[in-house]
């Protein structure tokens, strides 16, 4: 019996093409260094895909949650969780995770610097909401926080960003004036 | 649009960098066989142009009709056997009182005279019937069938949950239901025969114990 040629592709590839960048951004935010972020994402994705990959469609929220829990486990294992949360913005600024051509756009640069100035908990929510495209309900499940807490953090974060962006813009302008 | 919505729109316009090719390769290795549990079929030129259309000219391959007539022949032989049994029983149950011992040899001789000796034709799917006889008597064409087109149609997936394997290692059992379809087509008469058979695949996904 003759069979037709079947050209197939594993579903995880198209799934990862859709969600990989967002997940990596979150992993970078959760980890201390960009190279550790890739390990974190790989470990979390492989664990979740082995469990649910046969269904062909995995909710991204599961991988976000796995990333966060693994990040906490890894940090605990070396007893540096506190240090991680304090240093994360310094060691791994969010702007490194975006297209470098943004350097041409001062407003966007200021926006990313403003996001980096947010407290870790608020930045987490902004990352999941804006770039992860999760609902507040999904974010609350990912972060193990109540819906109200998550929504409040997001609201506060936006208020702070509204204030931080003009500051960042003016700081940059004054810095460039001094350099001249 | 208020200032918060504008801020959100500005943030959304920033796109995070995607993972590199090297990372995807690393991920593929790490996934191993688990990465191939779910696959999707990519459209290719051959399939899109010839989805269930004859791709081989008629008379180029005589094998498919042989297989087709083997199955139809089996069904026909079965029906013939049932008819012969019914004929035999009805003669045995209804007619015996009318047949005398003297008439029996005549009946046997008459029956034997009508039966031809079976002809063994290796090309024919039905034993005792030549290909020519089959072509004369069958309402279906014998020559000119194209290669059968086979298609696997995924129906549904049932996750049957976690169970303990005999080895003690827990595993998740997933059952895939498929429908295998085979289509025979005869371009000259535009005749098509579709055969479908259901199929199940059971997949065990070993779970990590940690």
In this prediction, residue A158 has a pLDDT band, given cuts at 50, 70 and 90, of very high
Integer Cα distance of A132 and A103 in angstroms: 23
Asked if the structure places residue B3 within a domain, the reply is no
Per the DSSP assignment, residues forming a β-bridge with B193 are B184
Asked if the structure places residue B48 within a domain, the reply is no
Do A45 and A107 belong together in one domain? Answer: no
The residue range of the domain holding B193 is 148-210
B137, B156, B172 - which closes a domain = B137
A16 or B75, higher pLDDT: A16
B171 at A interface, C-beta within 8 A:
no
Asked if the structure places residue B194 within a domain, the reply is yes
Q: Which of residues 27-56 of B touch A (CB under 8 A)?
A: 27, 30-31, 34-44, 46-47
Residue A149 has a pLDDT of 94
Residue in A12, A45, A111 nearest the CB of B10: A111
Do A150 and A172 belong together in one domain? Answer: yes
Q: Which residues of chain B have pLDDT under 70?
A: 1, 40-72, 74, 87, 89-120, 123-126, 209-210
Buried b (16+ CB within 10 A) or exposed e, A15-31: bbeebbbbbbbbbbbbb
ipTM: 0.78
Do B184 and B152 belong together in one domain? Answer: yes
Mean pLDDT on A104-113? 82
Per the DSSP assignment, residues forming a β-bridge with B16 are A98
pTM, 2 dp: 0.52
**Chain B residues lying within 8 Å of A158, measured CB to CB:** 4, 7-8
Interchain CB distance below 8 Å, B31 and A46 = yes
Q: List the structure tokens of A17.
A: 């093409």
Q: What is the pLDDT of residues B108-160, one digit of tens each?
A: 455 444 555 566 677 666 677 777 777 787 777 777 778 888 888 888 888 88
Give the nearest chain A residue to B23 (CA atoms): A38
In 3D space, the residue among A155, A150, A160 whose CA is nearest the CA of residue A111 turns out to be A160
**Whole-number Cα distances in Å, B14 to A147, B2, B10:** 26, 19, 7
Residue A168 has a pLDDT of 81
Number of domains in chain A: 2
E strand segments, chain A: 8-10
B137, B157, B189 - which closes a domain = B137
The residue range of the domain holding A51 is 10-92
Edge-to-edge strands of the sheet including B191-206?
B149-164, B170-186, B191-206
Residue A4 has a pLDDT of 46
A58, A77, A92 - which closes a domain = A92
User: In which element (H, E) is residue B200 found?
Assistant: strand B191-206
Residue A150 has pLDDT above 50, yes or no: yes
Asked if the structure places residue A175 within a domain, the reply is yes
DSSP sequence for B6-22: HHHHHHHTS-BPPPPHH
Q: What is the pLDDT of residues A18-69, one digit of tens each?
A: 899 999 999 988 886 667 888 889 999 998 888 887 777 788 888 999 999 8
Q: List the structure tokens of B68.
A: 């087709």
B201 at A interface, C-beta within 8 A:
no
Asked if the structure places residue A163 within a domain, the reply is yes
A39, A63, A92 - which closes a domain = A92
Integer Cα distance of A109 and A101 in angstroms: 10
Q: Counting Cβ atoms within 10 Å, is residue A107 exposed (0-12), middle (13-18) or buried (19+)?
A: exposed
A92, A123, A148 - which closes a domain = A92
């Amino acid at each position: 019996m003759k069979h037709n040629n079947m050209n197939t592709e594993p579903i995880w590839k198209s799934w990862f093409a859709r969600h990989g960048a967002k997940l990596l951004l979150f992993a970078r935010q959760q980890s201390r260094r960009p190279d550790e972020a890739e390990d974190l994402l790989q470990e979390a994705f492989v664990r979740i895909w082995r469990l649910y990959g046969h269904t062909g469609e995995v909710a991204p929220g599961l991988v976000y949650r796995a990333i966060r829990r693994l990040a906490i486990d890894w940090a605990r294992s070396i007893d540096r969780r506190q240090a991680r949360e304090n240093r994360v913005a310094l060691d791994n600024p969010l702007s490194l995770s975006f297209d470098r051509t943004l350097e041409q756009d001062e407003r966007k640069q200021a926006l990313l610097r403003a996001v980096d100035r947010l407290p870790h908990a608020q930045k987490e929510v902004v990352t999941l909401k804006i770039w992860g495209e999760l609902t507040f309900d999904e974010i609350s499940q990912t972060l193990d926080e109540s819906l109200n807490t998550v929504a409040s953090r997001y609201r506060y974060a936006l208020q702070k960003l509204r204030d931080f962006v003009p500051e960042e813009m003016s700081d940059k302008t004054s810095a460039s004036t001094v350099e001249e | 649009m208020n200032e918060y919505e504008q801020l959100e729109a500005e943030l959304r316009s920033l796109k995070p960098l995607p993972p590199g090719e090297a990372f995807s390769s690393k991920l593929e290795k790490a996934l191993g066989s688990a990465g191939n549990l779910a696959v999707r079929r990519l459209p290719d030129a051959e399939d899109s142009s010839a989805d269930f259309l004859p791709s081989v000219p008629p008379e180029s391959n005589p094998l498919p009709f042989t297989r087709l007539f083997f199955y139809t022949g089996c069904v026909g032989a079965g029906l013939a056997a049932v008819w012969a049994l019914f004929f035999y029983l009805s003669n045995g149950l209804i007619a015996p009182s009318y047949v005398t011992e003297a008439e029996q040899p005549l009946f046997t001789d008459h029956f034997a005279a009508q039966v031809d000796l079976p002809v063994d034709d290796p090309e024919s799917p039905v034993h005792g019937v030549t290909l020519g006889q089959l072509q004369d008597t069958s309402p279906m064409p014998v020559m000119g069938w194209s290669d059968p087109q086979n298609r696997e149609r995924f129906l549904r997936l049932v996750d049957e949950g976690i169970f303990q394997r005999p080895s003690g290692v827990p595993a998740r059992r997933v059952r895939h239901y498929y429908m295998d379809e085979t289509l025979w087509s005869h371009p000259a008469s535009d005749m098509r025969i579709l055969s479908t058979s259901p199929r199940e695949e059971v997949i065990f996904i070993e779970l990590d114990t940690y």
